[in-house]
Amino acid sequence: MRIDLHTHSSCSDGTDTPTELVEVAKAAGLDVIALTDHDTTAGWDEAAAASERYGVTVVPGAELSCRLGGIQIHMLAYGFDRTEPEFARERNLLRDDRERRAELIVRRCQELGAPITWERVREIAGSASIGRPHVASALVEAGVIATVDDAFTSDWLADGGRAYVDKYALDPYRALELVRRSGGVTVFAHPAAGRRGRIVTDDQIADLARAGLRGIEVDHPDHDAAARLRIWGVAAELGLVPTGSSDYHGSRKTVRIGQETTTPAAYEALFVEMPPGASWLPYPGASDGV
């Protein structure tokens, strides 16, 4: 069974429609994917229809923008009731503020001499939950930089960079509570992705675990070998379910879908009851799943 629990569609900053996403998952030999667009569930229905058509299980999810002590972090929420009003309202607030902030980021880029327009960035994003990668695509199109990744430096869009603007983000403890009350489970996304900015401490992860965090991404393209070992150790100590996922974004990133995977045992532990004795820990033995 091949399982990838973190992917993006064109409903946020991925480039594949939810249908195309399921199609590439099938072609990559995956049995299960989770659709985890930033702060939106807009792709769920289309992904569910494609799931039937292609015979790939799709776990409905979202990647929630959070902030802990000034550090930007992402929480993956899975299997929640998207009609729960308070959580739905928060996702609305998060998306609305993404619009406000994207326009300001574009203005900053213009002030820095980049020949991009808000109209074009809006067009690139379409109806998606807008984010920095959409601005990055406009910068590439305008010839300012060569690749989307090149936008994430202090010169442009990286956290604290010249054109960076903060956005509304949830307190992760509130996110845990909203997901729990909506019947879902929460997994900490890429907790040790150092190249994206400051990262949390082991103590901060332990506090989140006590507050109901269920799992944590060990295998992620932005984790080097040392980061994977560190987070695997933290997961083992705290009884968190270790996951592995590609964080696929279509052609906006170079990662392939299914490049990192979650073991069937971890998948079961997340969505069924966690077995006593936790014999599902996958390391050492890499992220290829079984």
Site residues for ligand AMP per CB under 6 A? 13, 38, 131-133, 149, 152, 195-196, 249
Closest CA to 34 of 2, 68, 7, 1: 7
Phi then psi for residue 241, to 5 deg, are: -75, 120
Among ligand AMP, Zn ion, Fe ion, none, what binds residue 184 when CB lies within 5 to 8 Å by partner kind?
none
Ranked by CB distance to ligand AMP, the top (closest) residue is 131
CA distance 87 to 194: 29
Residue 210 CA to its chain's centroid (Å) = 22
Among Fe ion, ligand AMP, Zn ion, none, what binds residue 152 when CB lies within 5 to 8 Å by partner kind?
ligand AMP
253 forms part of the interface with Fe ion (CB under 5 A): no
CB of 183 to Fe ion, least distance (A): 22
Total interface residues for Zn ion by CB under 5 A = 1
108 forms part of the interface with Fe ion (CB under 5 A): no
The span from the first CA to the last CA of the chain, in angstroms, equals: 6
Residues 6+ apart with CB under 8 A from 128: 10, 11, 12, 13, 37, 40, 42, 134
133 vs 244, which CB is nearer to ligand AMP? 133
50 vs 193, which CB is nearer to ligand AMP? 193
247 forms part of the interface with Fe ion (CB under 5 A): yes
Within 10-39, which residues bind Zn ion (CB under 5 A)? 13
26 vs 132, which CB is nearer to ligand AMP? 132
74 forms part of the interface with Fe ion (CB under 5 A): yes
Among ligand AMP, Zn ion, Fe ion, none, what binds residue 150 when CB lies within 5 to 8 Å by partner kind?
none
Among Fe ion, Zn ion, ligand AMP, none, what binds residue 149 when CB lies within 5 to 8 Å by partner kind?
ligand AMP
Closest CA to 49 of 7, 26, 24, 19: 19
Phi then psi for residue 234, to 5 deg, are: -65, -45
Q: 69 — alpha (psi -120 to 50), left (phi > 0) or beta?
A: left
The sign of the CA dihedral 243, 261, 182, 174 is positive
CB of 176 to Zn ion, least distance (A): 21
CB of 13 to Zn ion, least distance (A): 4
H helix count then E strand count, the chain = 9, 7
57 vs 110, which CB is nearer to ligand AMP? 110
Binding residues for Fe ion, rule: CB under 5 A, are: 63, 74, 189, 247
